[in-house]
Structure 1
Amino acid sequence: MTVLYTTDHEWLRIEGDTATIGITGYAQSQLGDVVFVELPKVGSQLTKAQAAAVVESVKAASDVYAPITGEVLEVNEALGAEPALVNSDAEGKAWIFKLRIADRSELEGLMDEAAYKAHTA
């Protein structure tokens, strides 16, 4: 399992040909209390950098972008009932969606944890 990060503060957990995607702890701390998460549709095709989901907080609404191209395999329905999971466990239970990886070469432009920490410092 590999974890990668985008400059837009999404994380990807890569397992085989599937990427689980959510927003980072840094991103949720900037948003404040999350009150709603709009999920993508299962089966939809997303292209890299396309808006895929929306996370709304008491402060703002923020798009979550597809960090890579792929098909949405699953969404985290638990966020509908409990959007605050994003605040309590952004990089764990609050994953937003899973994608089937269409082009592994797109992973090459993403950051590892050390590079992401430097990016947010």
Structure 2
Amino acid sequence: MSTAPEELRYAATHEWLRLEADGTVTLGITDHAQAALGDIVYLELPEQGSQLTAGQVAGVVESVKAASDYHAPISGTVTEVNEGLVDAPEGINTHPYQSWFYRMQPANPAEIEQLLDAAGYLKQCTA
């Protein structure tokens, strides 16, 4: 069964988001998403400084069995990308909630509250 830490927020499209103390957010894909993809072999990250809109494709995750787009759960500006994960994307399979993809400055922090909590996300995964 998939896990979903309580302190995170979740998009219906299987991305997680953590609000940081400085008001930025850190994002990645969920345990459920990595399990569905299988062994991850490639990760495409958004460009630092790029503007993303909620729901927009932010990049691609490829596994041995499929390639899948991942989306920005909220709108904002990408402030940092995890280049180390590009060189070792298999970390997403073993530690999906430590293997963050990028950080962003939210354009509208209220969008975060519209995302699912852990219980709502897990319920969606089992529906």
State the TM-score, normalizing by the size of structure 2: 0.90
- Helix, strand or coil at the partner of 1:17: coil
Q: Return the match for 2:32 from 21, 26, 37.
A: 26
* Cα displacement (A) at 1:119: 1.0
1:114 maps to which residue? 119
1:6 maps to which residue? 11
Distance 2:53 2:94 in 1: 29
1:83 maps to which residue? 89
Offset from partner CA, 1:29-86 (integer Å, 9 cap, x none): 0000000000110000111111011100011111110000000000111111101011
1:55 maps to which residue? 61
- Which amino acid letter does the alignment assign opposite residue 5 of structure 1? Y
Q: Return the match for 1:73 from 79, 85, 88.
A: 79
* Cα displacement (A) at 1:108: 2.3
Q: Percent identity?
A: 49
Q: Answer 1 or 2: which has greater strand percent.
A: 1
Distance 1:119 1:82 in 2: 29
Q: What value does the CA root-mean-square deviation take over the aligned residues?
A: 1.3
Gaps of 5+ in 2: 1-6
- Which amino acid letter does the alignment assign opposite residue 79 of structure 1? L
Q: How many pairs are equivalent?
A: 120
Q: Return the match for 2:102 from 80, 97, 100.
A: 97
Gaps of 5+ in 1: none
Distance 2:101 2:59 in 1: 8
Moved over 6 A (4+): none
Higher mean alpha-carbon deviation, 100-109 vs 62-71, is at 100-109
